[in-house]
Structure formats: C-alpha cells, structure tokens
Chains A and B, each alone.
Chain A
Amino acid sequence: MGTTRPLAHLKPVPMNLEALDGETGDVSHRSTPPTQPTGATGGRSDSEYAGGRNVGFVNGRSDGELLVAIRQGDRRAWAELVGRHGGRLWAIARAQGIERDQAADAVQTTWLSLIDNLDMIREPEAIGGWLATVAKHEAIRLSKRASKEPVRIDPALDEHADPVTPAPEAGLLLHERAVELRAAVARLGAPCRELLALLFSDAELSYAEISAVTGMPVGSIGPTRRRCLEHLRRSLEP
C-alpha cells in the first residue's frame, strides 16, 4: 500500500455485481452488462420486456419520466418505481430457487445497482427489463453460493410453514397440499421450475415479460406451461 499508481482510463461499467462479492475474483474480468443480456441467462432485450407495461399511464409518469425525476433526487419518483417493479423483481429472484432472505438481498442489490448506474442507463423506458436482468443475475449468483450448503429437501422444513399456529382440519389439509406441491416444483428441472414460478407468481408477469426473462419465445410459453404442469402432476402420482 502507498505506492502511487497511474490513474487508469475509466471503462464504463453499467453493471458491477462482482463488486458485491469477492468470491467471484478479479473484477477486471467482467461479464456482459445487462443492457445486452447473453444467451446464458436467456434474456431478450430490455425493450421487449418493458413493452407491455410502459403504456397507459393516464395521470402517472412513465418509467422514463420517473428516471428523469430520480436522477434529480426525487424520492417520490423512486418510491413509485419501486412500487411498480418490486413485486416482479421478487418473483424473478425467487424463481431462481433461492430462499426468501437471499431474494431480499437480490432485490436490495438490484436497487442499489440502479442507484449507482443512474447516469448510464441507455434505455430509460426499458428500465423494467434492466432491473429484471440484474435481479435474475444476482439471484443466480446467490443460488450458486447456497449450493455450498446442505440442500433442504424435507418438506417439513418448508419455510412457508407456520409451526406455531395450529391450523383447523381443512386448513391443515390445504397447507399440507401446498407444502407437497412446493417440494414437487422444487424438484422439477430448472426451466420448468422457473417457468411455473413466474407464471403463477403474484406479480402476474405477462407472457412477454416471462419471455424476456427466460428467453423462451412467447409462442412456446403456453405449450411449455402445459408440459411442465403435466410433469408436476405425474411427479406427484404414487
């Protein structure tokens, strides 16, 4: 420490998730920035993702308008953007098979990444797609971390389970059914697991959004949905 270093020429870094974890090593070897998603994560362009959502704001502001305001420090615009996209980011993170606390970290990291990259966003109206790609990258990164720990496959340890409040008879049956189904979904291959999580998410992603996140052509989502549900059903048969 202490030797004078020549100032390096700055390279633009739209995404810098490696900053968030030393385990990925020397940050000077970076992966492709999220505005050009690679085939590895199967993403489509951010604009394709955003197309379905960024219309019809009667009195509200579009994503691009919100970003302009956010760049000026407008915290209400920030809160509006969070409200608009947060649910989807959560769903996308969880669809990678990570735990709730990891998904919370992935979502926080995604928003911090936006704060640090505000001036470098090339397509403000497609910010939804940018956020989705970052969230998915981060969730995948965290999922690899988790695989170093023992995998919980015992449905009895399902984190949705509430061990404290005893459920009435009918509620208990529903609860057990839900636990069984979640365990079965978790055992499906990654494409079906991700697709079902996104299709049935509370965030109600459109087929266009699911296509952008997964790389699956919109036309194949319906048939794949049917096949995955069939797989799931057969996996539950005794």
Chain B
Amino acid sequence: MTDDHSRHDEAFETDVRRALSDPIPTDVVSQSIALGALLDMDHALAELTHRSDSEDHLAGVRGDDQIVATLTFETKQLVVEVEIGKRSRELTGQVLPPTRATVRLETPEQTVSRTTADGQGVFRLALVPSGPISLVIEGTDGSTVSVRTRWVVV
C-alpha cells in the first residue's frame, strides 16, 4: 500500500512539474543581455528625488485635462526638473543651475530624440515613449556637465 501511495505521489508530482514548467523565454534573456549596452561610466547618475502624478493645474485654463508626471532628478551639482503630459507625451524640462546642454532621450533600446537646453536650461521633447526612459544631459559651451537620469517609467 505504501508503494501504491508513493507511485501515485510520484505520478502526481510529475504531472505538477510538467504543468508548472515555465522556463525563462529566450527573448527575455536576450533583452536582459542587451541591457549591457547601458553600462555607463561616462555620466553621473541623477537620482530621482521627487515624483508626483497629478492633474495639470492649468487644465481649467486650457480647457483640457491631462495627468502630468512631475519628476525631479538630482546630482550634487545640479537639478533636473521634468514634466511629462501622460496623454500628450510631451516633456518640458529644466536643468538648474541654468546650463546650456544637449539632452538625449533614451530607452533601453535606443536614443529616441535629441534637443538642446537654452540659456535658462529649458528643453522640450515630444513623443516620449512609454516604458523605461532616461535623459542624458551633456553640457556645451565648455561646461563639464555629464549626467544621466535614473531609469523611470512614465
């Protein structure tokens, strides 16, 4: 009787093991390996120190309503403030203290777009994709600013 039980147990466990078989898909592995391209020692990491997602306070004035994500990234030297319209997918940002710089919008797969920050450090980007993004900010005019923001999803 004990043998019958253990045979049934074994058979049941074999069934369970087969049913739960769920190896990591190869495309998940390749995607993870591809993230190695993001190993970056050239830029200081700007940490996310504030985030809120809220109704645009100007919604009533403009007659539209959209959720705006407000993010603040910081290094010891500077602050990057960003607002992204979740529906419009438009980004407005500012580097403080005001810094002329090139700004790249990156996903894990590619650089999506580039722009420049003006004399006030203000920059704008359109068509911000969903999924993880990072901003890479490199000072022009002889500035040594070389920063990228922590990966965020907006």
Contacts and interface: CB of A to CB of B under 8 A. Distances in A.
Interface of A: 1-2, 4-5, 7-8, 10-11, 13, 16, 18-23, 25-28, 70-75, 78-79, 82-83, 86-87, 89-91, 94, 100, 103-104, 107-109, 111-113, 115-116, 118-119, 160, 174, 177-182, 185, 196-197, 200-203, 229, 232-233
Contacts, number: 173
Contact of B152 (A2, A19, A25): A19
A2 B94 contact: yes
Interface in B72-103: 72, 74-79, 81, 83, 92, 94, 96-97
B154 interface: yes
A79 B12 contact: no
Contacts of B92: 1
Looking at chain A's contact residues, the main secondary structure is helix
B48 A115 contact: no
Contact of A185 (B20, B37, B47, B94): B20
Give the interface size class of chain B.
35 or more
Interface of B: 9, 12-13, 15-25, 28-29, 31-33, 35-41, 45, 47-53, 69, 72, 74-79, 81, 83, 92, 94, 96-97, 108, 120, 122, 132, 150-154
